[in-house]
Amino acid sequence: MGFSSQAGKVLFKTQTTPGTFDAAFTAGHRAMKLRSGGLGTNRDLLITDPEIGGGRDRVDAYLGAVAWAGDYEFYARLEALTTLLKAGFGSAAAATTTGVTTHTITPLDSATLPLLSIEEQVGGTLEIFHYNDAVVNTLHFEAEANGYLMGTAGVIAKNQVAGATAVAAGSVLWDDTPMIVGTNITVTYNAVSLPAKSFAFDMTNNFEDDDFRLGSFFLGDLVAKGREFSGTLSIRPQDALLWRQASYGGSALTAPGGVTQKNQLVIACTTYEDIVGGTPLTKGSLTFTMPKVALEPYTLEQSGDDIIENDITFQVLRPLAATPACTAVVKAANATVA
């Protein structure tokens, strides 16, 4: 008898106490349906080098220090997504009207971000893992015009327990809310709608996953380093203004300058369906707002009878400390973040 991947479950909850799997996990978690992924064991088998006076065979081996890391790939459903966004960005505030909560998620300047407790049920009953002191190191979102909004969360965890007691099937709090497709996604730059065929957006916290200490198997700490927001846009240009801005430093320039324009980029994603129970009727939505974005120089390329299309890389900047580099706003039914 084999074990089906589809029988597995992954549950997340913001952790209250460092070093301890969250005591309120059963009642307060959120289960996310995944396309693939899980946390893998990063551990070396320490094998001796050849020794003078030794034989031709390896003498011994020990297990080294250990950490757990991996990617969770998913179709973006908004209620479960708020948990990952809060863990990755750092701070979440909620404002609720009748049945609709607006979650405003902003980057935290502290190098210590929220921790997660995670339960992985692999193959249903093949193995049950509990992880604590887990952090969201990376977040990636992408969509094509004729596809779904998809995401990937890169997670690192300090501790794992195998053979854990799983949340009972009847108590699993699934996020079954609607997904988002490319026909309901818009990209605007400097308040102008772009003819985008696709987008990709990335955030990384640059956590170290090898901060091991003498006398311990486990990571000594998980401290976020320099944060980065960036991405790419695939567009079919209507004019050369964006190219001039990226390559010359301004859309009105006809020769290179030394300063690049920094404009607001907004990626707005909306469900077709209204939020159940919301008054007035409100669509579920995810909006990324980046006030200062610079475009990297690129080339206007031609080939045969192909329609000209450009992949534009952008960098998110923060020239003013008082203004967040990126703000994510989610409108959904969940009043709190798991």
- 106-110, 158-162, 223-227, 251-255, range with the lowest pLDDT: 251-255
pLDDT digits (tens, 9 = 90+) for 180-194: 999 999 999 999 999
| Percent of the chain residues topping a pLDDT of 90 | 94
Q: In the chain, what are the domain boundaries?
A: 5-42+62-332
Q: Are 33 and 174 in contact (CB under 8 A)?
A: yes
Mean pLDDT of 64-89: 98
For strands 150-162 and 36-37, give the pairing: unpaired
Which helix (H) or strand (E) covers residue 107, if one does? strand 101-107
Cα angle 336-337-338, degrees, rounded to a multiple of 5: 115
pLDDT value, residue 206: 97
3-state secondary structure of 32: coil
Mean pLDDT of 223-227: 95
pLDDT digits (tens, 9 = 90+) for 298-318: 999 999 999 999 999 999 999
Residue 1 has pLDDT above 90, yes or no: no
pLDDT digits (tens, 9 = 90+) for 145-167: 999 999 999 999 999 999 999 99
* Residues in CB range of 1: below 8 A, 6 or more apart: none
- For residue 39, the 8-state DSSP code is P
* Residues in CB range of 29: below 8 A, 6 or more apart: 11, 12, 13, 117, 119, 167, 173, 338
CA 115 to chain centroid = 14
Cα 319 to Cα 55, 110, 262, distances in angstroms: 62, 18, 10
**pLDDT category, 2, cuts 50, 70, 90?**
confident
Residue 291 has pLDDT above 90, yes or no: yes
More confident residue, 2 or 11: 11
